Chains A and B, each alone.
Chain A
């Protein structure tokens, strides 16, 4: 997977330039103490799985996307972005309690989908009016896409991957298959 191409698509899909993308193209800071703990990772996993669920192919949890979000946000986000993401965990749980009387991870898959579909609308509205400080859900969604499609399950079992391709063909019929990773 070519990172530059992936980043461009992620920006279109989330309606905002990839946050920390300049660092994903450039570099990340190696940190000794993690900013996000096991609970946060489990939370990210649930959100990510709602965005990219397991179907007949692997989903976000299979790809350990929660772990990737925690690592990337720790090492490649600035303090403001990290703060937005941390507060996002609280904000999403608050919205969940308000709507369904339970914290987010306790919701059914259907409830999670409904809740996040609404949050996604808010995030896109936010991005249209505010290009400097991103919405927390934009951050999670971007890192979910980035982490998933560069993971082994995402790159090889959802997208198509041939480690030793051979037989390049320039112009063939396309019948709805998934993209080459």
Chain B
């Protein structure tokens, strides 16, 4: 891997490639793999440091007792990182895979807590790993119900690419035949525990809804490709530290090694992309202007095609900053909609309850996945006072230590009693669709720049009353389902967390049929600069209700294969 910053290399750095991929995270890794495997000399630009699979996972094998405060972080680290430290999974065992707030400023016009992971592999190291497919209804809902524009593609366009991705990364799950959550190419699912089975039955019999094992990017039973990459999940359940077993999918464990194997890959860490260079005569992008993160030197790299996978908001930033005489407002931005219609996911409520009984049942170790109740709202017709749908993630568990019927306050009998598993409980939390609106936008600061001379991003993104209504509905429905299953002492937690903490920011460079109201066509090409492809979260026309990463991966593989075809035809 040519992973140098360029300064220590004696010979002239190669600056001309067939393809450039900006970003090495979940979608960038996929662009790299597909383009390299099709024979394109590909440069992957990563603004952060290199992270090599296994070697650069410093805490992967550190048990809790070897952390100074058993996993808590020093207060000064938290005080210095007010936003990033709120990210799900951020603690002493994972903090090195998140940015430090002070290093990467941005401007919150409205509260938006922007969670970033700047390193080779990006946030694929620290993602949640849920991998359900969108249904056809998810693609058509925004247009059908009038809260968005039409997607230029539907389920059937993406389905073969979902399969392509699932087989390679490894997704566990059961084939369930649920029309709101289509089946895929699954490895064996994690079994439901006894309380989850009980919830499944209650939710089916009393609500006619599904409660199923979540589809998760865990290699539960390695196939040939996983064996070749030495990947197998053994339920350590320490995923976000980086997995030395390659148990879950990350770019580092999976797509980047596959790309590297072709001999066509060059990864360049510490490469902050400033802008894309547009050539008016040919009507194409000719390359990318990079600022070396360490030396601050400017370098131009050239390529025939460019994939933007910088993460949703940074992809917006790069395009907004790519100005030219032809595109004074950002590359491809003739309609002025670049940076607008930002969406995200609504995680504002969760709840838990206790279950009597099942005391003669337990599980063997814990699983790195959850269960899911697929969306049941506004599927075939609008049946609520809000638009969009939500999924519910859920799990049953036994308390780690027992706190009921303890015979003594201390001593041997006390120790013996509390060391047993405790009462059963279950939790549920929502992941809801939001409506992309023109007013929810990002733009560039006119006067403030970062240390690489790039304008700071301004975020102006907020909830609306549709989100409030959806939260209310989830709380009612979640409670009703838990109660129907016999849960007691249900506690609802309604948080007011700002957008951003969902880490599912999307849009700003949305796909569409009409160049008048979208930036990208059905192949993720900029309508007005066809050799630039955007296949990360920025391309999303609507947010859907399922976790988006596997859709980004599938759209990326689809677009990359199309790009290679077009390139071979001489059409790009």
A-facing residues in B169-201 (Cβ within 8 Å) = 190-194, 196-197
For the complex, give the distance between the alpha carbons of A166 and B416 in Å: 27
Q: Which residues does chain B contribute within 8 Å of A25, judged by CB atoms?
A: 72
Q: Which residues does chain A contribute within 8 Å of B451, judged by CB atoms?
A: none
Residue in chain B with minimal CB distance to A159 = B419
Residue in chain A with minimal CB distance to B238 = A163
Q: With A9-B400, A168-B191 as given contacts, are A53 and B411 in contact (CB-CB < 8 Å)?
A: yes
Q: Out of B76, B362, B367, which one reaches A172, CB within 8 Å? A: B362
For the complex, give the distance between the alpha carbons of A51 and B194 in Å: 33
- Over the window 47-68 of chain A, the binary record of Cβ atoms lying under 8 Å from chain B Cβ atoms (1 yes, 0 no) is 0001111010001000000000
Are A120 and B364 within 8 A (Cβ)? no
Residue in chain B with minimal CB distance to A25 = B72
For the complex, give the distance between the alpha carbons of A167 and B192 in Å: 14
Would you call A17 an interface residue if the criterion is a C-beta within 8 Å of the partner chain's C-beta atoms? no
Are B362 and A51 within 8 A (Cβ)? no
Q: Out of A72, A150, A166, which one reaches B235, CB within 8 Å? A: A166
Q: Which residues does chain B contribute within 8 Å of A24, judged by CB atoms?
A: 69-70, 72
Are A170 and B190 within 8 A (Cβ)? yes
Are A168 and B365 within 8 A (Cβ)? yes
Are B72 and A3 within 8 A (Cβ)? yes
Would you call B421 an interface residue if the criterion is a C-beta within 8 Å of the partner chain's C-beta atoms? yes
Q: With A1-B64, A173-B360 as given contacts, are A55 and B415 in contact (CB-CB < 8 Å)?
A: yes
**Of A27-35, A37-45, A93-101, A126-134, the one with at least 4 CB within 8 A of chain B:** A27-35
Minimum C-beta distance from B282 to chain A (A): 54
How many interface residues does chain A have, given as a range? 35 or more
Are A23 and B75 within 8 A (Cβ)? yes
Are B411 and A180 within 8 A (Cβ)? no
Q: How many chain-B residues does the 8 Å CB contact rule pick out?
A: 57
Would you call A169 an interface residue if the criterion is a C-beta within 8 Å of the partner chain's C-beta atoms? yes
Would you call B157 an interface residue if the criterion is a C-beta within 8 Å of the partner chain's C-beta atoms? no
Q: With A168-B191, A170-B190, A179-B420 as given contacts, are A13 and B72 in contact (CB-CB < 8 Å)?
A: no
Number of A-B contacts (CB under 8 A): 181
Minimum C-beta distance from A82 to chain B (A): 15
Q: Which residues does chain A contribute within 8 Å of B362, judged by CB atoms?
A: 172-174, 177
Are B412 and A179 within 8 A (Cβ)? no
For the complex, give the distance between the alpha carbons of A52 and B412 in Å: 7
Would you call B414 an interface residue if the criterion is a C-beta within 8 Å of the partner chain's C-beta atoms? yes
Q: Which residues does chain A contribute within 8 Å of B70, judged by CB atoms?
A: 3, 24, 146-147, 150
Minimum C-beta distance from A89 to chain B (A): 18
For the complex, give the distance between the alpha carbons of A153 and B409 in Å: 21
For the complex, give the distance between the alpha carbons of A53 and B410 in Å: 9
Q: With A163-B236, A166-B234 as given contacts, are A13 and B403 in contact (CB-CB < 8 Å)?
A: yes
Are A27 and B190 within 8 A (Cβ)? no
Q: With A55-B412, A113-B410, A165-B235 as given contacts, are A23 and B401 in contact (CB-CB < 8 Å)?
A: no
Would you call B503 an interface residue if the criterion is a C-beta within 8 Å of the partner chain's C-beta atoms? no
Are A76 and B72 within 8 A (Cβ)? yes
Are B415 and A53 within 8 A (Cβ)? yes
Are B236 and A51 within 8 A (Cβ)? no
Would you call B361 an interface residue if the criterion is a C-beta within 8 Å of the partner chain's C-beta atoms? yes
Can you give 10 A-B contacts (C-beta < 8 A)?
A27-B73, A27-B74, A50-B410, A50-B411, A113-B411, A117-B408, A155-B63, A167-B235, A168-B365, A170-B197
Besides A27-B69, A117-B410, 15 more A-B contacts (Cβ < 8 Å) are A5-B399, A13-B406, A24-B69, A26-B85, A27-B74, A27-B77, A53-B411, A55-B416, A113-B410, A155-B65, A168-B366, A168-B367, A170-B194, A170-B196, A174-B361
* Chain A interface (Cβ < 8 Å from any Cβ of B): 1-3, 5-6, 8-9, 12-13, 23-30, 50-53, 55, 59, 71-72, 75-76, 113, 116-117, 120-121, 141, 145-147, 149-152, 155, 158-159, 162-174, 176-181
